Amino acid sequence: MGNKSWTTPGASRDAQREGKRRAVLQAGARLFNDQGYEQTSLEEIATALNITKRTIYYYVDSKEDILFGCHLLGLEFLGETMAQSQDQSLPVMERIALLIRGYCAWVSTDFGATIAMVREQSLSADRRTALRASKAEVDFQLRSLISEGIAESSLRPCDPRLVAAVVFGALNWIPHWNRVENPVPQEDIAEQYLQLVFQGMVPAQS
């Protein structure tokens, strides 16, 4: 990313600043995902944006601030998915499918991948607690949907905690293998994941 995209013509001062802060977070997310959080310096993030390290401090306080900002933006996007899957007028399976498709799309973004790839230890204790609470909410949502499905017999009896762990493990793994030159389209991944999680590998006995 060159200096071209650094300034948005015609935008207000606040919007400029917000846009630039976002560009800093995005460049940070990409580098964290590609080469690791610990392996990335603020200097490198500035270089990727073609700005100085001094300029970067106008938008963020520290590298950890960038990481936390990435997480907040990532979670914002996930909020929409959460809301959709809470629509009680839809069948449970459809709500689970919405959650899995949405999470798959999310984890395929730079910000979503950062949450899935960077270990919580890189954040301060306070911020780690906040992040954990948000992650726990998504987990709780899926577990609740599974429990609801079991109660109404539309799903097999199972341990919702372990099944949710399979689903989120599989989804969080995506950026580890699919950040390549020709990635598998995330829509294809979601459909294959849904087929497996709903129907399993073994054909029904006929």
Q: By CB under 8 A, name the binding residues for a second copy.
A: 35-36, 38-39, 93, 96, 117, 119, 121-122, 146, 149, 153-156, 158-159, 161-163, 165-174, 176-177, 184, 188-189, 192-193, 195-205
Distance of closest approach, residue 83 Cβ to a second copy, in angstroms: 23
Least separation, in Å, of the C-beta of 170 and a second copy?
4
Diameter of the chain measured on Cα atoms: 68
15 versus 151: smaller Cβ distance to a second copy: 151
Between 3 and 121, CB nearer to a second copy = 121
CB of 202 to a second copy, least distance (A): 5
In order of 72, 79, 128, 175, 204, the CA distances from 68 in angstroms are 6, 16, 9, 18, 46
* Nearest-approach distance from CB 177 to a second copy, in angstroms: 6
The 3-state secondary structure of 85-138 reads CCCCCCCHHHHHHHHHHHHHHHHCCHHHHHHHHCCHHHCCHHHHHHHHHHHHHH
- Give the nearest distance from C-beta 117 to a second copy in angstroms: 7
Residue in the block written with tokens 């726990």: 136
Q: Which is nearer to a second copy, 15 or 166 (CB)?
A: 166
Helices (DSSP H) in the chain: which residue ranges?
Answer: 13-35, 42-49, 53-56, 63-84, 92-107, 110-117, 125-151, 160-178, 186-199
51/174 with CB nearer a second copy: 174
Residue 1 vs 166, nearer CB to a second copy: 166
